[in-house]
Structure 1
Amino acid sequence: MAGKRKGGRLGLALGVLVLVVLLVAGVGWWLSRENPTSPIGQPPATEPGEPERTQPADCPDVSLISVPGTWESAADDDPYNPQANPNSLLTKVTAPLAEANDPARVEVYTVPYTAQFRNPQLPEDVSYNDSRAEGTEKLRDKIASTHERCPFTKYALLGFSQGAVIAGDVTGEIGNGDGVVPADLVLGTVLIADGRRDQGAIGPGLQPTNGQGMEISLQGASGLTELIADATMTGPRPAGFGALTEQTASLCAGPDLICNAPMDAAGGAARLSEFLNNNAVHAEYDTNPNVVEGTTATEWSRQHLQSLIDSAEEVPHS
């Protein structure tokens, strides 16, 4: 009887041992089938679902996207060589940057849209509402299409006047998690003469404190602006720039009614006709020495954007 018990115990032990060996071997076979190149017990080199940090050869490290102001762009303009308005303010920034950087590293793109502002002097122009909507959609589409092909490309945005409203709105969407790319892909945004500039705007120089963007001042009188210029004044950006607040620089000349209108609606409405007829300072950001001390708004923007470009990682190409 004792011999039988010993034999039974030995058989049971051998059976358990065989079962364990088979179980380990089975797990090992399953792991090697899932990831043949990974040693058993070692995690794969790339986490599941994580793309390799390489991009197609035509993907830039940085996409610098410029949104011109009213009457400085057209829907059929060449985004890589804009000619709709040879005197467009932002070409004073983008042209030197395009020349100074390897196009394989930096793409310089100007959003082509119908940049107009219908008013009594220009009754045949496209309305501000329609112009702004077109520019906003084209900016979103450009960022989204680039990101789909080039997931590691970073973005720098630049806008002037109506273009600053557009670039600022899209920056706000991204910074608040509602945009077409994650916020960490945006290196920074520069807004010159932003019509939605509020008192909390961050600027590099002499940020005006006695006014705000015309779209904020005139929000309460939007019925009047719609009647005069078919332009809805949308007020401040409800959530600001979110995670991109510190990365967004606003430049505004004190006398410029677009970005520094009187704080009250009555004062802004009284000066609306002045803006429509004579707002010369709005066209002088390339020469005005009173926006950023020691330089001009365009030169500061160029240097700032170049520093953002220089900070961007170089992504290997596949």
Structure 2
Amino acid sequence: MRLRALIAGVAATLMAIGSVVVTAAPAAAAPPGCPKIYVLAIPGTWANGTSPGIMGEVTSGLGPETRVQFVGYNATAFPWEKAVYGKSKAQAVANTKGLAISMLRRCPGTRIALTGYSQGADAAGDVASEIGTGRAEIRPGQVAGVVLIADPRRSRRDNLIGPALNGEGSGGPRLDGMGWVLPRAFTICQPSDLYCNVPRDYFITRIVGYLAETSDPTPSQIAQYQAEAGAIVAELTTLGGPGKIVDELSNTRAREQIRAFDQFLQSGAHGVYRSFQVRPGVTAVEWAHGFLAGLA
């Protein structure tokens, strides 16, 4: 009898504690105005927030639970403009991270999505890489997805949407990759677009791309720059020694690559993503839009 009473007393006590715990710790409500998905879209070179190019089409009408923010930055490339490419991209990276952190501090339950085109894809991919490899304040789990179009740092290890490619981005791949973000990160590149698909043996073009990426270098990225330069040198060395290196960097090879790049610029291959089909009947812009719309 005493045992039964003791058990009943303990049970009653546990129920009381449980009810206190349940009522004392309700789920915190999200602050008003917090979106489920916050899309940070980075336009390409010479575009901006008021005229974002294909980023406007990629991010239009994503649904009521998604908020879109176009990232403002210089979006220039040459010394006679506002900023050289490296400085312009660094500004885009910093602004993107600043917007993301500001949103996550106010709305901890919101998840970030990153997208960009050309120089914007370069910046968005760098932010995703920093997050995925633990080098950013943002946690990988706070990133819902990434979609990059014509990324100058596209890697063969990236998740490619569309036909298979043999080259990589003109600026060289991100050596650290996407880390924990990789399963949710996708890249799109039209095969004839030399910004995102430079043949591996176009060493002069790759060196020029490397110099653009490292123009106005960021001190904290020096080790990364050295590793990228080392990767190019290592590939040159494995071709067959000093003689082959001389051949690859000769005037003949330079002229060949200059002609190829000139033909690429005249072809307009960098601007065909509205019509370039990555799936039968599905263009690059449509696929990117559908991917982002599905995150919410």
The separation in 2 between residues aligned to 1:163 and 1:275, in whole angstroms, is 23
The separation in 1 between residues aligned to 2:23 and 2:96, in whole angstroms, is 33
The structural deviation recorded for 1:278 is 3.4
Q: How does 1:186-265 map to 2 (within 5 A)?
A: 186-208=143-165, 210-216=166-172, 236-264=173-201, 265=203
The structural deviation recorded for 1:266 is 3.0
Indicate if the aligned counterparts of 2:193 and 2:264 stay in contact, CA closer than 8 A.
Answer: no
**Match for residue 111 of structure 2?**
154
| Aligned CA distance change for structure 1 residues 160 and 47 (closer, same or farther; 3 Å) | farther
Q: Which amino acid aligns with 1:237?
A: R
Indicate if the aligned counterparts of 1:207 and 1:252 stay in contact, CA closer than 8 A.
Answer: no
Q: Which amino acid aligns with 1:92?
A: E
Q: How does 1:5-154 map to 2 (within 5 A)?
A: 39-40=16-17, 44-45=21-22, 52-73=27-48, 82-83=49-50, 85=51, 88-97=53-62, 101-102=63-64, 105-118=65-78, 123-154=80-111
From the two aligned structures, give the one with the greater helix fraction. Answer: 2
The separation in 1 between residues aligned to 2:268 and 2:132, in whole angstroms, is 33
Q: Which amino acid aligns with 1:167?
A: A
Q: Which amino acid aligns with 2:84?
A: S
Q: Which of 303, 311, 314 in structure 1 is aligned with 2:290? A: 303
The separation in 1 between residues aligned to 2:205 and 2:116, in whole angstroms, is 26
Tell which structure's C-alpha radius of gyration is larger.
1
| Aligned CA distance change for structure 1 residues 300 and 107 (closer, same or farther; 3 Å) | same
**Match for residue 294 of structure 1?**
281
Q: Secondary structure at the match of 2:61?
A: helix
The structural deviation recorded for 1:158 is 0.8
Q: Which amino acid aligns with 1:114?
A: N
Q: Gapped runs of 5+ residues in structure 1? A: 1-37, 74-81, 217-235, 310-318
Q: Which amino acid aligns with 1:215?
A: G
Q: Which amino acid aligns with 1:238?
A: L
The separation in 2 between residues aligned to 1:47 and 1:200, in whole angstroms, is 48
| Aligned CA distance change for structure 1 residues 42 and 172 (closer, same or farther; 3 Å) | same
**Match for residue 6 of structure 1?**
none
| Aligned CA distance change for structure 1 residues 180 and 295 (closer, same or farther; 3 Å) | same
The structural deviation recorded for 1:283 is 1.0
Indicate if the aligned counterparts of 1:53 and 1:152 stay in contact, CA closer than 8 A.
Answer: no
**Match for residue 175 of structure 1?**
132
Indicate if the aligned counterparts of 1:60 and 1:107 stay in contact, CA closer than 8 A.
Answer: yes
Structure 2 length-normalised TM: 0.71
| Aligned CA distance change for structure 1 residues 296 and 277 (closer, same or farther; 3 Å) | closer
Indicate if the aligned counterparts of 1:187 and 1:308 stay in contact, CA closer than 8 A.
Answer: yes
The structural deviation recorded for 1:267 is 5.3
Q: Secondary structure at the match of 2:290?
A: helix
Structure 1 length-normalised TM: 0.66
Indicate if the aligned counterparts of 2:74 and 2:82 stay in contact, CA closer than 8 A.
Answer: no
Q: Which of 281, 284, 287 in structure 1 is aligned with 2:269? A: 281
The structural deviation recorded for 1:124 is 3.1
The separation in 2 between residues aligned to 1:186 and 1:64, in whole angstroms, is 10
The separation in 2 between residues aligned to 1:95 and 1:165, in whole angstroms, is 21
